[in-house]
Structure 1
Amino acid sequence: MRLAETTFATYDGLTVAVDRILRSAEVHASEQCLVAGAQPVRIAQFASGRRVARAAASTLGYVIEAIGSGPGGDPLFPDALVGSISHTRRHAVAAVGLSTHYRAIGVDVDDDRPLEPAATGAIASPAEIAVVMRVVSGTAPLLGASITFSLKEAIFKCQFPALQLRDLDFRDVLLSAPDGVTLRARARRPDSRLSELLVAMQLQVLKIGGARVCLALVPR
């Protein structure tokens, strides 16, 4: 479904909205303090992200004017909603769900830009990248690390409202597919607070509106 330039994907109690970064996107008056002094590119990314978040919320029956920021920069939604926002240089994406359906949501967007080979070792093991390439059909070898990075970013965003872990390293989360088709995450330290949340977390990789979207969801 398309409304203006925004592409929507809807699920049970959840909407993902994707659009291009718009230089003309306006910052709500009460959000301007969050980007005071920022460069025009950053302001456009911020405003575009809030714009698609409001559009996603509207499909769930909620009209939102301003979306604040929490202590970690996470977007603050009304109690009835839970959500996450991400952007690249080209796209803004928001995933917004009903809080009756989801405890936490994390989203990250990828424009299919390969990571520098030197960076991949700090993000994941070759085995993790191979799993992602196997599960996400049509993944080119150079994009496996990029999608793995994006998945872990979504996981970090998903955990933050509940656990507020700020010092997580990419190697603290391990990706696998025990059944060969479903991506799962586990904590490197099984006794950590993160471990219990990851057991309940669902991971998805979607292609929406020309962008690759990685979702991390903790259902009720």
Structure 2
Amino acid sequence: MIERILPPGVISRSGTADPPDARLLPAEQALLQDCVPERRREFTTTRHLARGALAELGHPGAPLLTGPRGEPRWPAGVVGSLTHCAGYRAVAVAPRSAYAAVGVDAEPARPLGPGLLRAVARPEELPMLAELTGHAGHVPWDVVLFSAKESVYKAWYPLTGRWLGFQGARLDLHPDGVFTARVLDPGEGGPDRFTGRWTAGDGRVATAVTVPAG
């Protein structure tokens, strides 16, 4: 699913089940103290997928550890992103020489509750969601918005090292599978605009943001 919305040069792996042969490296196992079984499965599968993708970039067997906010710490010269939700896991990686950042996200296509929608959507985004629903009601536009903001954050954080909340970016979603995001307070040196793609199907929504190098 995620491969449909990634540009050339970005390597992806995805799956709808946890492979029985997926294993963690010792350094990765140390990160899972007291984790519940579901968290262990999704962590193991995404690392398994990541190693397959990283091998294509010349990094076979590299452990994928985490940073201060739980973000994956990719090998030198690599950018990437992980995502997992019920019944789906995916990873996307790319050489840093071609891309400065990659962010991907997948979510179940279930409507957001009113409280979560208020937390995710800015007031000026609500009329856009209503208009899109009127034109293409089969698309869960609230979930697309949620997922797109997650992908924006996953691209933003490696570039800046700073948090970006749901209310910190305004998105424009388009029926043709494209979205744009404007960061309202990018700070000194922070990027203020992102472009991404979205897709929906099989009960899920997936989004991706890529930032070309340079």
With the shorter chain as reference, the TM-score category is 0.7 to 0.9
Partner of residue 187 from structure 2, selected from 164, 186, 192: 192
Aligned residue type for 1:106:
G
Distance 1:177 1:7 in 2: 18
Give the 3 Å change call, closer, same or farther, for CA 55–131 of structure 1 in structure 2: farther
Determine if the alignment matches structure 1 residue 26 to structure 2 residue 20. no
1:39 aligns with 2:32: no
Equivalent pairs, count: 208
1:12 partner amino acid = P
How much does 1:16 deviate?
2.4
Task: Compare 118-127 and 151-160 and name the one that shifted more.
Answer: 118-127
- The corresponding residue for 1:154 is 151
Amino acid aligned to 1:109: A
Counterpart Cα distance in 1 of 2:95 and 2:195: 16
Once superposed, what is the RMSD of the aligned Cα atoms?
A: 3.0
Quote the Cα distance in structure 2 between the aligned partners of 1:97 and 1:176.
26
Shift of 1:99: 0.8
Q: Which runs of 5+ in 2 are unaligned?
A: none
1:193 Cα deviation from its structure 2 partner: 4.0
Which residue, 123, 140, 149 being the options, matches 2:138? 140
Instruction: Say if 2:87 is the partner of 1:90.
Output: yes
**In the aligned structure 2, how far is the partner of 1:109 from the partner of 1:188?**
24
- For the pair 1:170 / 2:166, whether they are aligned, the reply is yes
| Structure 1: unaligned runs, 5 residues or longer | 1-5
TM-score with structure 1 length normalisation?
A: 0.80
CA contact (8 A) 1:31 1:66 kept: yes
For residue 214 of structure 1, what is the amino acid of its counterpart?
T
Cα distance in 1, alignment partners of residues 201 and 104 from structure 2: 13
TM-score, with normalisation over the residues of structure 2?
0.82
Is residue 2:214 matched to residue 1:217? no
Among the aligned pairs, what percent are the same residue? 25
